[in-house]
C-alpha cells in the first residue's frame, strides 16, 4: 500500500484496497453510475436484502483479480508482465460498465429501441471520445494500452490466461458474484473457498488457466454452488415473475408512447424510442429512473400499464406458478387452448394473464474452453460430480391464483397423453 491507496470496507472480502490508478477510474461519472444498477434486478422482491450493486461487485472482481495475479506470479514467475497484470485488474474492474438498468432483466430489444448486449455497450462506452472513463484510461495507459485492454476483454490476447482471469468458467467475475449474491440474499446453499481455488491454479503450457489435481474438490464445490444459486435464486419463481412484470410494463409504455397516449421522462423516451441511442443517453439510464417511472405508471388510466406497475407496487394478487414438475413445452402447447378457455371463463384476459418464463442454464459443459485440469483433461473427465451436474431447462407458467388448480389439471392430462 502507498499513501494514495484507498481502503473500502466490504461485507464479502473485508478490505478492498484501491490503488491510485484504480481510484481514478472508480471516481469517473461513468463508473459511479454502477451504484444505481442493482446486481440482481428484481431479486429483492424475493430476498429483501439483495439490493447490492454492480458497483461493489466490480470492486470485488478487481480485488480478486489482484490476489490471483500475485499467486500466479509466485507459481509461474514472469509469465504475466507487470503491465499486463495492471490491465487485467482494469479489465476486471470495468467488465460491467455496459449494463443497463435492472442488469440482465432489461437486456431486451422489446424495451430498447437501440438494443445491444451489455458487453457491446461497454465497448462503445470505452470508444466514445467524450467519455470520462476513456479519457482517464488514455492518461493512464495510452492508445496502445487501451487496445491491449480491449484484447483482454474480448479474448484475442496472448497469453489467453489474461482473458481467462476476467472471463471464463472460473473467472473473478463469477467467483465474486456467487460469493456476493449468497451473502446478500441470505441463501445458505453451499460454499467454496476462493483462496483454495486460487492456490490450485496454474498457467498451463497452452497459456490458459489450469487447475491442479488437488484443487478439483474445491472447484466441484464452486460448480455445485453455482448450480444451486441458479436453481434457488436467479431462477426463483418470484424473481422470474417480477422480471416479467417489469418487461411487460415497459413494453406497454413503449406502445403508448408511440400512440401519443403516454408522456415519460426525456431519458426513458430515448430508451424506448431512439433507434440510434448515444452512449451519453445510455449512461443516463439507471435503476432509480426506471423505478420512478414504474411508480408513476400505477395511476395511469391505461388498464394494462397500471396492471403490471400495480402488481409490482403492491406485491399482492400476483400470478401463481403452475405446480407441475418438469413442465415441457410440448405439454404446455398441448394444453394451451384449454388453459386460455379456463382463464377466459374466470374473467381474465388469456393474452395478458398467461405468463411464461423460460429457464435455461447449462449445468456444466466443457463449452467455451471448459475448466482444464493439469494433464490436459477437462474437469468433467476427472470428476463424476461435475459430469453429473445437469442443465436447467424448464418452462415456468404463471396464471391468476383462482385458475391455478384447473390449469394444473389440464396440463397433467396433456402430460399423461404425451
Query: Which class for 326: exposed (0-12), middle (13-18), buried (19 or more C-beta within 10 A)?
Result: exposed
* Residue 202 forms part of a structural domain: no
* Residue 131 forms part of a structural domain: yes
**Alpha-helical runs (H) found in 53-171:** 54-75, 82-94, 118-127, 132-154, 161-166
Cβ–Cβ under 8 Å, residues 34 and 58: yes
Domain count, the chain: 1
- pTM, to two decimals: 0.94
pLDDT by residue (tens digit) across 121-139?
999 999 999 999 999 999 9
Average pLDDT over the chain, rounded to whole?
A: 93
Q: Which residues contact 100 (CB under 8 A, 6 or more apart)?
A: 37, 106, 107, 112, 118, 121, 282, 285
Distance spanning both ends of the chain, measured CA to CA: 66
- Rounded average pLDDT over 386-411: 90
pLDDT of residue 366: 57
* Residue 356 forms part of a structural domain: no
- Rounded average pLDDT over 350-354: 94
Report d(CA 225, CA 237) in Å as an integer: 19
DSSP 207: S
Number of helices and strands (H, E) in the chain? 20, 9
pLDDT of residue 365: 61
- Rounded average pLDDT over 353-360: 89
DSSP 372: E
Residue 200 corresponds to which cell in the numbers above? 490450485
Among 126, 130, 138, which Cα is nearest to 24's? 138
Q: H-helix or E-strand containing 201?
A: strand 201-203
For residue 134, the domain's CATH number is 1.10.3210.10
* Residue 207 forms part of a structural domain: no
* Residue 38 forms part of a structural domain: yes
> CA 173, 150, 158, 213: dihedral to nearest 10 degrees?
0
- Rounded average pLDDT over 88-98: 97
* Residue 311 forms part of a structural domain: no
pLDDT of residue 126: 97
Has residue 3 got a pLDDT over 60? no
Cβ–Cβ under 8 Å, residues 185 and 228: no
Report d(CA 385, CA 135) in Å as an integer: 47
* Residue 181 forms part of a structural domain: yes
Has residue 74 got a pLDDT over 90? yes
Report d(CA 355, CA 240) in Å as an integer: 10
pLDDT of residue 390: 79
Residues in the chain: 418
Q: Which residues contact 247 (CB under 8 A, 6 or more apart)?
A: 105, 106, 108, 110, 111
At residue 229 the predicted structure's pLDDT band, cuts being 50, 70 and 90, is: very high
Report d(CA 113, CA 128) in Å as an integer: 20
Residue located via cell numbers 436467479: 234
pLDDT by residue (tens digit) across 183-213?
999 998 889 999 999 999 999 999 999 999 9
Among 133, 109, 111, 110, which Cα is nearest to 123's? 133
Percent of the chain with pLDDT over 90: 83
Residue-number span of the structural domain to which 179 is assigned? 6-189
Q: Which residues contact 181 (CB under 8 A, 6 or more apart)?
A: 39, 40, 50, 52, 187, 229, 233
Residue 148 corresponds to which cell in the numbers above? 491491449
- Rounded average pLDDT over 142-146: 97
> CA 213, 219, 221, 226: dihedral to nearest 10 degrees?
-160
pLDDT of residue 418: 61
* Residue 180 forms part of a structural domain: yes
Residue 296 corresponds to which cell in the numbers above? 408513476
Query: Which class for 306: exposed (0-12), middle (13-18), buried (19 or more C-beta within 10 A)?
Result: middle
Amino acid at each position: 500500500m502507498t499513501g494514495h491507496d484507498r481502503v473500502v470496507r466490504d461485507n464479502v472480502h473485508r478490505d478492498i484496497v484501491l490503488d491510485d490508478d484504480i481510484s481514478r477510474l472508480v471516481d469517473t461519472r461513468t463508473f459511479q453510475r454502477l451504484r444505481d444498477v442493482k446486481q440482481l434486478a428484481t431479486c429483492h422482491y424475493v430476498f429483501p436484502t439483495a439490493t447490492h450493486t454492480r458497483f461493489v461487485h466490480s470492486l470485488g472482481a478487481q480485488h480478486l483479480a489482484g490476489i490471483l495475479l500475485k499467486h500466479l506470479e509466485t507459481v509461474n514467475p514472469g509469465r504475466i508482465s507487470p503491465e499486463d497484470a495492471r490491465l487485467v485488474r482494469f479489465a476486471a474492474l470495468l467488465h460491467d460498465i455496459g449494463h443497463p438498468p435492472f442488469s440482465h432483466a432489461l437486456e431486451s430489444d422489446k424495451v430498447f429501441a437501440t438494443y445491444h448486449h451489455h458487453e457491446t455497450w461497454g465497448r462503445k462506452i470505452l470508444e466514445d471520445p467524450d467519455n470520462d472513463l476513456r479519457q482517464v484510461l488514455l492518461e493512464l495507459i495510452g492508445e496502445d494500452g487501451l487496445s491491449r485492454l480491449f484484447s483482454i476483454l474480448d479474448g484475442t490476447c496472448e497469453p489467453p490466461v489474461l482473458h481467462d482471469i476476467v472471463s471464463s468458467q472460473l473467472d473473478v467475475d463469477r467467483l465474486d458474484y456467487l460469493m456476493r449474491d449468497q451473502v446478500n440474499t441470505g441463501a445458505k446453499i453451499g460454499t467454496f473457498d476462493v483462496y483454495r481455488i486460487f492456490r490450485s491454479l496454474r498457467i498451463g503450457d497452452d497459456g490458459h488457466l489450469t487447475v491442479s489435481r488437488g484443487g478439483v474438490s474445491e472447484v466441484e464445490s464452486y460448480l455445485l454452488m453455482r448450480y444451486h444459486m441458479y436453481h434457488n435464486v436467479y431462477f426463483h419463481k418470484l424473481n422470474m415473475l417480477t422480471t416479467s412484470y417489469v418487461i411487460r410494463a415497459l413494453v406497454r409504455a413503449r406502445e403508448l408512447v408511440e400512440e401519443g397516449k403516454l408522456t415519460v421522462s426525456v431519458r426513458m423516451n430515448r430508451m424506448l424510442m431512439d433507434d440510434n441511442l448515444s452512449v451519453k443517453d445510455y449512461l443516463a439510464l439507471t435503476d432509480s429512473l426506471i423505478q420512478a417511472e414504474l411508480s408513476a405508471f400505477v395511476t395511469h388510466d391505461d388498464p394494462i400499464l397500471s396492471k403490471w406497475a400495480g402488481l409490482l407496487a403492491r406485491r399482492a394478487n400476483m400470478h401463481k406458478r403452475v405446480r407441475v414438475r418438469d413442465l415441457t413445452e410440448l405439454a404446455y402447447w398441448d394444453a394451451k387452448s384449454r388453459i386460455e378457455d379456463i382463464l377466459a371463463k374466470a374473467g381474465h384476459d388469456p393474452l395478458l394473464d398467461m405468463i411464461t418464463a423460460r429457464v435455461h442454464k447449462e449445468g456444466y459443459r466443457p463449452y467455451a474452453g471448459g475448466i482444464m485440469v493439469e494433464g490436459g483433461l477437462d474437469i468433467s473427465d476427472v470428476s463424476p460430480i461435475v459430469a453429473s451436474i445437469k442443465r436447467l431447462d424448464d418452462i415456468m407458467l404463471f396464471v391468476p391464483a383462482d385458475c391455478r388448480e384447473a390449469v394444473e389439471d389440464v396440463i397433467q392430462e396433456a402430460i399423461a397423453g404425451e
